[in-house]
Amino acid sequence: MRPTDRSEFGIAIICALTLEADAIEALFDETYDKFGQVYGKQPGDTNVYITGRIGQHNVVLCYLPGIGIGSAAGAAANLQVSFTRIHLALVVGICGAVPFPAPNTEIILGDIIISDCVIQYDFGRQYPDGFRQKSNVKEVLGRPSQEIRALLAALKGRRTRRELEDQIRQHLQFLGEEEDIWKHPGLVHDVLFEASYHHKHHQQRPSATCICFDPILASGIVCDEAVQKDCSSLGCTENQITRRRCGINSTTKPSVHIGSLASANTVMKSGEHRDRIAEREGVIGFEMEGAGVWDSVPCIIIKGVCDYADSHKNKLWQDYAAATAASCAKVLLGYWTPRTTKVLPPILTTN
């Protein structure tokens, strides 16, 4: 039975990009309402919603007006004004990954990262000698709720993890049959470079002077033209890292990784900065919305890996990564216990 009003929605899914929301909507078991035509929203709420059902849950899909922590925080505040009984928010989309977050652990494109902690690494003070991140316990984001921590602990079990990944692959197969954009791009396009190997011109043109080759400028300085071009155009071919999971006979099945995510209003496009922050904070991925939602409502961040948070970023893997994250979100909701959100009339007693 469909909900009678907004009070019967308990799950929110928040997406910053349309391609992320498209994958979620494609996995709805039933769509109730688009853009508030049935359930509406409170006056002053600027969010846009699509409502539907995933498994046993009534779900509200929230579109962000743009990327970033501020956008996510504003949307989360509006969401709770219109949908007052949301008890779990999933921030679902794409992210950059730390390729080797721990010994014998390898993250490749298309894998999924589930957050058990969020670090806002651009929150701090700028001093003359550099930026210092705030680390006071009163100034950092808190832990997930007990219920979320218990679920994540269970998902770390080997047997449960295998079941989770098997179900994700089933949903991915469905999405791939629906549209080609959600199919795996092929391992030939999954290239990882040494962190110090920059995305820039690697062959000097005889008739032009390019700052990519200026020995006086600091290492890593590149021209505006190089920033806009892809690796094949620039000749980024050297210093490629060979990985076990990207070999000729390797599997293309996405793996799930549970760990800390770094969140900021900055797009991480530096392998060297990525590795320094990962070593200091113990994070395994980089994204841009989670910190805005984390302290507003009980939250799990689920992100598909579309790049390695380095200067060689491209958009080739974004649709597939969004599909893996959406598939994981649907499976995870199957493990989440539904709650009765309908407001029941008070019980009258007689003296």
pLDDT in tens for each of the 351 residues of the chain?
Answer: 899 999 999 999 999 999 999 999 999 999 999 998 999 999 999 999 999 999 999 999 999 999 999 999 999 999 999 999 999 999 999 999 999 999 989 999 999 999 999 999 876 665 555 566 665 434 457 788 999 999 999 999 999 999 999 999 999 999 999 999 999 988 767 888 787 777 676 666 645 567 666 665 556 677 766 666 776 666 667 677 777 777 655 667 899 999 999 999 988 988 899 999 999 999 999 999 999 999 889 999 999 999 999 877 888 899 999 999 999 999 999 999 887 645 445 555 554
Contact 257, 282 (CB under 8 A): no
Instruction: Decide if 212 is inside a domain.
Output: no
Instruction: Decide if 295 is inside a domain.
Output: yes
Burial track 40-57 (b if 16+ CB lie within 10 A, e otherwise): ebeeebebbbbbbbbeeb
- What is the domain-level CATH number for residue 266? 3.40.50.1580
Please tell me the total count of domains within the chain: 1
Instruction: Decide if 196 is inside a domain.
Output: no
Instruction: Decide if 45 is inside a domain.
Output: yes
CA distance linking residue 302 with residue 88, whole number of Å: 13
Domain containing 41 equals 6-124+146-184+252-335
Residues 6+ apart with CB under 8 A from 244: 106, 250
Instruction: Decide if 216 is inside a domain.
Output: no
Instruction: Decide if 46 is inside a domain.
Output: yes
CA distance linking residue 76 with residue 64, whole number of Å: 9
Instruction: Decide if 32 is inside a domain.
Output: yes
With helix as H, strand as E and coil as C, how does 171-209 read? Answer: HHHHHHHHCHHHCCCCHHHCCCECCCCCCCCCCCCCCCC
Contact 218, 211 (CB under 8 A): no
Instruction: Decide if 344 is inside a domain.
Output: no
- Quote the pTM value: 0.86
Contact 122, 46 (CB under 8 A): no
CA distance linking residue 95 with residue 81, whole number of Å: 28
Rounded (10°) CA dihedral 268, 275, 230, 169: -90
